[in-house]
Structure 1
Amino acid sequence: MRIFLKLLREGSGRLLIFIDWVFRPSIIKRSDEEQMIVDQKTESLKLYEFYACPFCVKTRRAIKRLNLKVETRNAQEGSYRTELESSGGKIQVPCLQISQDGEVSWLYESNDIIGYLDKHF
């Protein structure tokens, strides 16, 4: 049963990725100067994700719509997973790492991340 649920989740995630590819969101247009400022601000952001996670797809769509260059980190396994657990406190995706003024904060939940991005960009 556990394998079935994992396959179902992975399959539905892949279907969402295909739908996302077919129906790309409209991208915000900015002047070159404005985009450069936004790009500098997004250098302090890192998105920990699982590729086929529906909530991660939702968050990536918002990032694409806002025309942001946010580094994505696959937390499925490896060092990014370990970093997410040890520094962020838990393995939950999507998770946005925000580095500001020498301090690092971790924002979980796709709606909270999208709200933060909408507010700041």
Structure 2
Amino acid sequence: MRIIHKLLGTLILLIDWLTAPKGIKRPEEVQAVINEQTKAITLYQYKACPFCVKVRRSMKRQSLSIETRDAKRCEMAKIELLKGGGKLKVPCLKVVNDTGSEKWMYESKDIIGYLEQRFSEAA
């Protein structure tokens, strides 16, 4: 079973690499504002998780430079995810607002919807 998971993970990553979307082009000053806003956002993920790939592809299409943390290979990321989000489930988007409070968002569809709504208005 482990071999099948390894093969599927490799296949997912290969297809993702071969079909990588292009990011949108924005004026430099608009992109700089968005880059500053994305510093308060972190995506907890597993590299070959199909739902995580889906979120990362959406981030790339929107030209969002959001930090990613691999909760499978990095023990510190796993601890942060469990402590902050409450469960070891990916993808999980951590958003820190202006007051410093954190929002932890699971489900790829919800994460993509949030990012599209928040950053399409900034463009």
Specify if TM > 0.5. yes
Letter in 1 for 2:26: R
Unaligned runs of 5+ in 2: none
| Cα distance in 1, alignment partners of residues 82 and 6 from structure 2 | 22
Report the counterpart of residue 53 of structure 1 in structure 2: 49
- What residue number does 1:92 align with? 89
Q: CA RMSD in A?
A: 1.1
The answer to whether the 8 A contact 1:39-1:69 is kept is: yes
* SS at structure 2 position matched to 1:27: coil
- Listed one character per residue, the Cα deviations across residues 15-58 of structure 1 (whole Å, up to 9, x for unaligned) are 11111111111211100001001001101000001111111111
Name 2:101's counterpart in structure 1.
103
Structure 1's consecutive aligned runs of 4 or more residues displaced over 6 angstroms after TM superposition are none
Normalised to the residue count of structure 1, the TM-score between the two structures is: 0.92
Match of 2:43, SS?
Answer: strand
Maintained 8 Å contact 1:16/1:54: yes
* Unaligned ranges ≥5, structure 1: none
Aligned to 2:64: 68
Distance of 1:111 and 1:13 partners within structure 2: 21
